[in-house]
Structure 1
């Protein structure tokens, strides 16, 4: 599926740096609430901690590209059968602590853990969706969401879900326009402490069949 002139393609390892840079730009406030580092340092830390496997059996990441440059990213995840081996990316903490400081590394890891969500059976979950600031309001986010809906249907999942901070009403309105509904709102103490965003909404989309 493509967004003319943007192409949505599967993430590859060579996209890692560009994706991390995009995530730091898009979720700058969240990262800055965790660590006392410059944006470039946050990107370096994220690149070393958040290693993605293009051949993962429990998630799939897609990027929107314009002239081979990453301008958007979408990550989908789901629950793998219990018989599958867990996917792990061991992290060597010593060099990270030496470079970024003990407090920054452990707070960053803890904060990232608090954002983790384990999907239920037959659930496809939008882990993150981000668009480069220079390319927002051009329809890429909408196309990513319709792409995710099509992926859910073609992969035989029963529901597409996501979490969004209550205060991010712009995103909530976009999701509503594409058929997502607020299933519930929850107060999350740890996310309140780490990210200053106390209330999070779980939104769902199902086919009308």
Structure 2
């Protein structure tokens, strides 16, 4: 039986559970030094983040769908000038009550971990926060489709002229993949904080300028 075509669509609430499961695949290895939460609890944690904290207007999450199944996701953000004000802060404080089931210490460690991964984009920069493909669908071009969406998004937004991402020094395969897709290493950083929290010290900051945007090679 032939599979349906893969489509790239905006994130919707009905996809929260599936996308949360996908995020466990990419974050489990990083957060295993921080928390002993099970995969089910980690997935529920991400799902509640989606439910209770609205997406920043200067960001976008997309999903790769095939036969109604989420087989990949990508999240990007750019520099925006937004201020939710006091009302937004009160809403956030109230929302954290929904996370009590995970335990205060687990919650604190997870929030520290997520904060460390935050990157503040410069003007014109579209930063890829995460790109994840389900293990059963890797090596089939899903990741390339997601990155092509990101490239098209940047090309159609006049205020953006660059894609960027971070890749772990322990993941040379991923770095080679991004290099085949026209990313190049802009800078390297060694962080003792990252090493202590995630046992990963070296990270490459990779960028793709819009005058160098032709994809080639295979993808995840």
TM-score (norm 1): 0.89
Greater Cα shift, 188-197 or 130-139: 188-197
Where does residue 29 of structure 2 map in the other structure? 29
**Which of 168, 179, 190 is equivalent to 1:187?**
190
Correspondence 1:9 to 2:12: no
The question of whether the paired residues in 1 share the 8 Å contact of 2:16 and 2:50 is answered with no
Q: Give aligned pairs, total.
A: 202
Root-mean-square deviation (CA), in Å? 1.9
Where does residue 64 of structure 1 map in the other structure? 64
The Cα shift of 1:95 comes to 5.0
* Structure 1 unaligned spans of 5+: none
Correspondence 1:80 to 2:80: yes
The question of whether the paired residues in 2 share the 8 Å contact of 1:24 and 1:31 is answered with no
Where does residue 201 of structure 2 map in the other structure? 198
**Which of 149, 152, 170 is equivalent to 2:151?**
149
Correspondence 1:177 to 2:175: no
The Cα shift of 1:193 comes to 1.1
Residue-by-residue CA offset, 1:162-197 (whole Å, 9 max, x unaligned): 111111111111110011000000012221111111
Where does residue 111 of structure 2 map in the other structure? 109
The question of whether the paired residues in 2 share the 8 Å contact of 1:26 and 1:132 is answered with no
The Cα shift of 1:103 comes to 1.5
Residue-by-residue CA offset, 1:74-116 (whole Å, 9 max, x unaligned): 00100113xx32476615445533x222211110111111111
* Structure 2 unaligned spans of 5+: 213-220
